[in-house]
Structure 1
Amino acid sequence: MVHRNAPLTPTGRLRLARCVVEEGWPLRRAAERFQVSHTTAARWADRYRQLGERGMCDRSSRPHHQPRRTPPAIEAQVVQLRREHRIGPLRLAARCNVAASTAHRILTRHQLPALATLDRATGEPIRRYERARPGELVHIDVKKLGRIPDGGGHKTLGRAAGRRNRNGVGLAYLHTALDDHSRLAYTEDLPDEKAPTCAGFLIRATAWFANQGVTVERVLTDNAWAYSKNTWLKTCRDLGIQPRWTRPWRPQTNGKVERFHRTLLDEWAYHRPYTSDAERQEAFADWLHWYNFHRPHTAIHGQTPASRVTNLSGQHT
């Protein structure tokens, strides 16, 4: 990589060297023309004589001899422990009796990725994917959320009073359908997650996506009981949708909607104290509209979900 303040790129070096070697320019004239020192012009001319065009590229600054480099046996131990136990530089340093910075350099030298990019269960790099067009795959999942009693819960009243006030309020079942390509989301608060409820949600979600110009082709769910019943399968068949299921014990397969639910909790459900469940539900429609049409989404390079659906946000009119 060329230094950002370098006066010559490889192409500029080649031009300078050819002026000196092939066209016979004096070194001082070439140095003045290319605005470099006399010694710099001489260095690139000599390298061109020795190596030709391939000598114009940058060389590694690594020294030829490194007497204080970590011994190969210790490097091998660091790599082996990382692959077997999936631990970071600090713990590797303690086990191998080296500095944490040394352990980090060893991992970098052997091109071992950061732990955050690995699946902790298998140690394999996380494979990310994205469907090519809206509607090709829609993720569906249910998030259970405790309802807020009238007067507020523990965030409003404190732990003791909130515990006394929460009896009998039950759970909210937030059913979400999220488009894989655009991250456009549709969510309903329903009383349960039984097969008829899930099937009814799919019908309404499909109609909502159709109003946004998205035709749902496939749906991906986990292996919950409701998604394996004939009610669900018949609804998918009637709508012309292909059902898909995640691998058992692998929620990462449905990770996009799982991540949406985390955003939903952070930015809506737990964003501020509510005095009742009705107050929280009243705030949800505005939040979901903001998420779909105005909130920059980091996973799609700062775009909004609506901007990835043809002219849904009106940006072309």
Structure 2
Amino acid sequence: MDCDIYPVTWKALMTHRNAPLSETGRLRLALCVVVDKWSLRAAADRFQVSVSTAKRWADRYRLHGKAGMTDRSSRPHHSPRRTPTRIERRIIKVRVIRRWGPARIASLLRLAASTVHAVLRRYRMAHLAELDRATGAMIRKTVRRYEHPAPGDLVHVDIKKLGNIPDGGGHRVLGRAAGRRDRRRGVGYAYLHNAVDDHSRLAYTEIHADEQAITAVGFWARAQAYFDSCGIAVRRVLTDNGSCYRSHVWRDALTSADVVHKRTRPYRPQTNGKVERFNRTLLEEWAYARPYQRESDRRADLPGWLHFYNHHRRHTGIGGHPPASRVPNLSGQYN
């Protein structure tokens, strides 16, 4: 048998970028060594592979014949250091229920973020950017993200309506049926007025009984004073198109403070996405974090949680650092 009658071309033999031989090329090499008694070096030179590769395919042919020329899995028979199945299930459960990223899941389960990321990839979990964070449904649009270069370049402002907790607890304490009866007793609503700096994500929040223009203006005066005390000079404010933000008193308050007011496009809340995301974090980690017995208990927890958010909570949008780390010389940053 003359191996030269089998023309070898690289285009014919390449099955993927790291494979010098196709299955047909491996068979030809093995036949040259086993049948025609070529030396391993001569066969290796002819097929432009290493001597060890030529020996591997020749030995495989002697043991298994033509069937031995197919690819085999490189996966090891045993993986003693692989994450246990029960831990993998906990990771997937947290991802599905809470829709958290690897860093937050790792913090909760006391694992390395790289381990969580590897498990999510192994199970082919969708990226959070591909999911609707409220429903978990897949979305097709790619959200363009932006960040202003310095604190104060833009502050996002918004209002979040929140039901008050009746004395004795709401439905999270008493159950759904009792909770609905308490709603009919007219415990009312609270309005969370929130301001979030675009660059640092530093946040300021107040609870009020309404969302009227005069209330919004008073909130902004105190929010701006807070940012000033942190060394942040606010230049622009972004709001939605709520009636309080379209009022003359709001316009005059910002104009007198030399602050430019911008509004989002109608029906495009994602334009004000940083404060919208803060709203959701506020509900998940403070408002609904535990079954409060009364509204006053929940409100008493807000200042402590807000300090934790600004000074200690890791924010994945800014590299896993707290917002205060992006505000130079902020007092209380390390408390």
TM-score over 0.5 (shorter chain): yes
Q: Secondary structure at the match of 1:165?
A: helix
CA RMSD of aligned residues (A): 2.7
The equivalent of 2:143 in structure 1 is: 126
- How far apart are residue 163 of structure 1 and its match? 2.4
- How far apart are residue 263 of structure 1 and its match? 0.6
1:289 aligns with one of 296, 307, 310: 307
2-structure distance, mates of 1:163, 1:114? 36
2-structure distance, mates of 1:279, 1:123? 41
2:154 aligns with one of 115, 137, 147: 137
The equivalent of 1:155 in structure 2 is: 172
- How far apart are residue 164 of structure 1 and its match? 2.4
- How far apart are residue 117 of structure 1 and its match? 4.5
TM-score, length basis structure 1 = 0.61
Residue identity (%): 57
User: Superposed, which structure 2 residues align to 1:70-109 within 5 Å?
Assistant: none
The equivalent of 1:171 in structure 2 is: 189
Which amino acid letter does the alignment assign opposite residue 181 of structure 1? H
Indicate the larger mover: 160-169 or 129-138: 160-169
- How far apart are residue 310 of structure 1 and its match? 0.5
Which amino acid letter does the alignment assign opposite residue 162 of structure 2? L
1:85-129 CA distance string (max 9 Å, x none): xxxxxxxxxxxxxxxxxxxxxxxxxxxx97944999995531100
Q: Which runs of 4+ in 1 moved over 3 A?
A: 37-40, 113-124, 313-316
Does the 8 Å CA contact 2:194/2:205 hold for their aligned counterparts? yes
User: Superposed, which structure 2 residues align to 1:1-317 within 5 Å?
Assistant: 116-117=129-130, 124-166=141-183, 167-312=185-330
Which amino acid letter does the alignment assign opposite residue 292 of structure 2? Y
Does the 8 Å CA contact 2:224/2:234 hold for their aligned counterparts? yes
2-structure distance, mates of 1:194, 1:115? 35
Which amino acid letter does the alignment assign opposite residue 167 of structure 2? D
Does the 8 Å CA contact 2:151/2:232 hold for their aligned counterparts? yes
Does the 8 Å CA contact 1:306/1:313 hold for their aligned counterparts? no
1-structure distance, mates of 2:283, 2:176? 20
Gap change, CA 1:141 and 1:315, over 3 Å in 2: closer
1:10-37 CA distance string (max 9 Å, x none): xxxxxxxxxxxxxxxxxxxxxxxxxxx9
1-structure distance, mates of 2:139, 2:317? 24
Q: Secondary structure at the match of 1:306?
A: helix
Does the 8 Å CA contact 1:138/1:218 hold for their aligned counterparts? yes
Gap change, CA 1:154 and 1:134, over 3 Å in 2: same
Does the 8 Å CA contact 1:139/1:180 hold for their aligned counterparts? yes
2-structure distance, mates of 1:182, 1:192? 28
1-structure distance, mates of 2:200, 2:331? 12
Gap change, CA 1:115 and 1:148, over 3 Å in 2: closer
Which amino acid letter does the alignment assign opposite residue 147 of structure 2? E
Does the 8 Å CA contact 2:130/2:139 hold for their aligned counterparts? no
Which amino acid letter does the alignment assign opposite residue 265 of structure 1? L
Which amino acid letter does the alignment assign opposite residue 145 of structure 2? R
Which amino acid letter does the alignment assign opposite residue 241 of structure 1? V
Which amino acid letter does the alignment assign opposite residue 178 of structure 2? A
TM-score, length basis structure 2 = 0.58
Does the 8 Å CA contact 1:151/1:276 hold for their aligned counterparts? yes
2-structure distance, mates of 1:297, 1:205? 21
**Structure 2 unmatched ranges of 5 or more:** 1-48, 53-125
1:159-186 CA distance string (max 9 Å, x none): 2222223311111000000000000000
Which amino acid letter does the alignment assign opposite residue 139 of structure 1? H
Gap change, CA 1:213 and 1:159, over 3 Å in 2: same
1-structure distance, mates of 2:177, 2:131? 41
1-structure distance, mates of 2:332, 2:213? 37
1-structure distance, mates of 2:191, 2:145? 28
Aligned residues: 209
- How far apart are residue 240 of structure 1 and its match? 1.1
2-structure distance, mates of 1:159, 1:123? 35
The equivalent of 2:28 in structure 1 is: none
**Structure 1 unmatched ranges of 5 or more:** 1-36, 41-112
Does the 8 Å CA contact 1:307/1:313 hold for their aligned counterparts? no
- How far apart are residue 311 of structure 1 and its match? 2.2
- How far apart are residue 239 of structure 1 and its match? 1.1
1-structure distance, mates of 2:271, 2:215? 23
- How far apart are residue 151 of structure 1 and its match? 1.1
